Amino acid sequence: MRRTRSGPSIREFLHYYVLVLLAEHSRTRRELIEEIRQRSIGNRSYRSSGVLWVASAEMDNVLSNLLDRGFVELDSRRGKWAITWHGRRARRRMERENQSEADTKERAADKILSLVEDTPCSSYILDVGTGQGYLAFKLAHEGFRVLGIDSCSLQYSKDSIEKAQEQARPEGGNVEFRQADIRHFDQPDDTFDYIVSSQAMHCMENQRESLKAIYRLLKAGGRFFCIDYLVGSKGFLAHGFHCLLASSREEWTEMLVEYGFSNIRMYELDDYLLVEAEKQ
């Protein structure tokens, strides 16, 4: 099913990217939407529904805003939009202002460590979409008991769990890895004190089902921490169309509330977003 995307984060991305497309040559509104769809087609290799369809109303809104600011102009006879001199300068300015600092994923991971630092080390933590154990090892080194799971379902992730297990051997007991898809993970309800995930939600085939499973597996009062790409101009400048596989702040809030999470907090760390939510 085709899902169009809208909301402030998508608009923020469009304010930048429409200027990029119009700097190449003038285009109609329909051509702009189609070009974005075409350029995001590579996202399909990560998630079959990952192609970006921008809602037409959102494109109208952005074009009219750019027009008011003198960044674009409309040739109404041909229905074509073109970038102005001011628009070209504005695009360069956005690029300068939205440059990300290096190592923001590391900073996001450090933020998770700081948010769990005052909890007992007997806490049991699940790392979903662990890959080769990026977060799992960091948490285990803090003294927590950690289980990392990964579906190993992507081309590059086929042997992730095997590699993580190899690395875990010399560590001794408190970090363990298993191959499993979170949606079908065979564990009792209310098992984990925390569930964490880094850069994995965006490539999950059915994010809603995954979130539902995460909620089920958390203990009451347990918290979910998720690092993923920031949807908007910073995320786009650092990761291109790949960042648009992730959920925007608004989409996150809608999904988390739908599945019963509360105390939702979000931290923007340049091109990454850290989401925190609690099971009631």
Ligand X SMILES: C[S@@+](CC[C@H](N)C(=O)[O-])C[C@H]1O[C@@H](n2cnc3c(N)ncnc32)[C@H](O)[C@@H]1O
Q: Which residues bind ligand X (CB under 6 A)?
A: 128-131, 134, 149-154, 157, 160, 181-183, 198-200, 203-204, 210
- DSSP letters spanning 4-41: EE-SHHHHHHHHHHHHHHHHH--B-HHHHHHHHHHHTG
> How far is CA 262 from its chain centroid?
20
Minimum separation from the CB atom of position 121 to ligand X (A): 22
- Cβ burial of 82 (10 Å; 0-12, 13-18, 19+) is middle
Quick one: 123 or 199, whose CB is closer to ligand X?
Answer: 199
Quick one: 22 or 226, whose CB is closer to ligand X?
Answer: 226
Task: For residue 179, report the phi and psi dihedrals to the nearest 5 degrees.
Answer: -85, 120
Minimum separation from the CB atom of position 268 to ligand X (A): 18
Quick one: 40 or 207, whose CB is closer to ligand X?
Answer: 207
Quick one: 87 or 131, whose CB is closer to ligand X?
Answer: 131
Quick one: 114 or 280, whose CB is closer to ligand X?
Answer: 114
Minimum separation from the CB atom of position 168 to ligand X (A): 15
Per-residue CA distances from 5 to 37, 197, 246, 266 (Å) = 11, 23, 12, 20
Minimum separation from the CB atom of position 258 to ligand X (A): 18
User: Closest-CB residue for ligand X?
Assistant: 131
Question: Which H helix or E strand runs over 222?
Answer: strand 218-229
> How far apart are the C-alpha atoms of 108 and 104, rounded to whole Å?
6
Minimum separation from the CB atom of position 124 to ligand X (A): 18
